[in-house]
């Protein structure tokens, strides 16, 4: 069976200020992207892909976040929690130590090559599609993400290793996850992105439903245009009408006996 060709043009309608970024985890060296020629943190890869050419990240050129993507194991100094108090992340080593029991990471050496490309320059089927959105755009994307299956939104994160919730968690769990730029410690310190943007990561098996849902649903529903009083009035009217049709006893808010 031929693989379904996805129509990514639907995302042009958002007019994103910051381009969506596609990510691919590979065991073999990819042929369609060159290895980046500088040291870079994982959280900085989004901006690099948005503003430059597609690139491949390897163990040789990652400067921070290497444990999250399985390039190496956590060293004892990290596992011990000793770094957290030094960087004002945690009150004590014990608090820092706890995160290593829940922060997700790829198995060691399972994906030695990680391709990044902005959506308009993507030449591969992404394992992750990462959006950097304002609130209006994020609402549409998240609503589309649950439009056909009703699954709840997830906003999992942690003070340090915040990149794990953008990269490892969605890929491993299959869950859409979102966070806000400026909450992750290293991302904030490095000024990797302007603060206050919503970062949403869609794993590979949610991308096709996302596109289908965006094609089907209203991006700006009629209900958003009514204002507070208009919204309340219309909701009451429709609910009363539906209740009568189904022979249910509902008279709406403010009804008198």
Model confidence, pTM: 0.91
Angle at 205 between CA 193 and CA 114, to 5 degrees: 50
pLDDT of residue 232: 87
Backbone angles phi, psi at 100, to 5 degrees: -75, -5
pLDDT in 10s for each residue of the chain, 257 residues: 456 689 899 999 999 999 999 999 999 999 878 899 999 999 999 999 999 999 999 999 999 999 999 999 999 999 999 999 999 999 999 999 999 999 999 999 999 999 999 999 999 999 999 999 999 999 999 999 999 999 999 999 999 999 999 999 999 999 999 999 999 999 999 999 999 999 999 999 999 999 999 999 999 998 888 899 988 888 888 888 888 888 777 665 555 54
pLDDT of residue 256: 53
What are the residues facing 191 on neighbouring strands? none
Q: What is the 3-state secondary structure (H, E, C) of 59-104?
A: CCCEEECCCCCCCCCCCHHHHCCCHHHHCCCCCCHHHHHHHHHCCC
pLDDT of residue 238: 86
The residues spanned by each domain of the chain are 8-220
Q: How far apart are alpha carbons 194 and 157 in whole angstroms? A: 18
Going from the C-alpha of 87 to that of each of 90, 173, 186, 194, 206, the distances in angstroms are 8, 30, 10, 21, 36
């Amino acid at each position: 069976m031929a693989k379904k060709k996805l129509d990514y043009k639907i995302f042009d309608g958002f007019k994103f200020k910051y381009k969506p970024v596609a990510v691919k985890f590979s065991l073999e060296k990819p042929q369609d992207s060159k290895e980046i020629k500088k040291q870079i943190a994982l959280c900085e890869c989004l901006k690099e892909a948005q503003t430059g050419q597609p690139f491949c990240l390897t163990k040789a050129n990652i400067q921070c976040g290497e444990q999250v993507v399985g390039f190496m194991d956590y060293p004892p100094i990290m596992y011990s929690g000793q770094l957290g108090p030094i960087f004002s992340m945690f009150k004590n080593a014990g608090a820092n130590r706890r995160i290593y029991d829940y922060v997700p990471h790829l198995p060691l050496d399972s994906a030695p090559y990680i391709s990044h490309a902005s959506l308009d320059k993507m030449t591969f089927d992404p394992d992750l599609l990462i959006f950097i959105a304002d609130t209006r755009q994020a609402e549409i994307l998240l609503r589309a993400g649950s439009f056909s299956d009703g699954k709840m939104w997830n906003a999992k994160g942690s003070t340090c290793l915040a990149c794990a919730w953008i990269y490892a968690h969605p890929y491993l769990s299959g869950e859409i996850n979102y966070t806000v730029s400026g909450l992750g410690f290293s991302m904030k310190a490095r000024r990797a992105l302007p603060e206050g943007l919503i970062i949403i990561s869609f794993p590979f098996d949610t991308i096709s439903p996302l596109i289908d849902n965006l094609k089907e649903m209203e991006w700006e529903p009629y209900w958003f245009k009514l204002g507070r009083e208009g919204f309340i009035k219309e909701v009451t009217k429709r609910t009363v009408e539906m209740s009568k049709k189904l022979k249910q006893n509902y008279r709406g808010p403010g009804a008198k006996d």
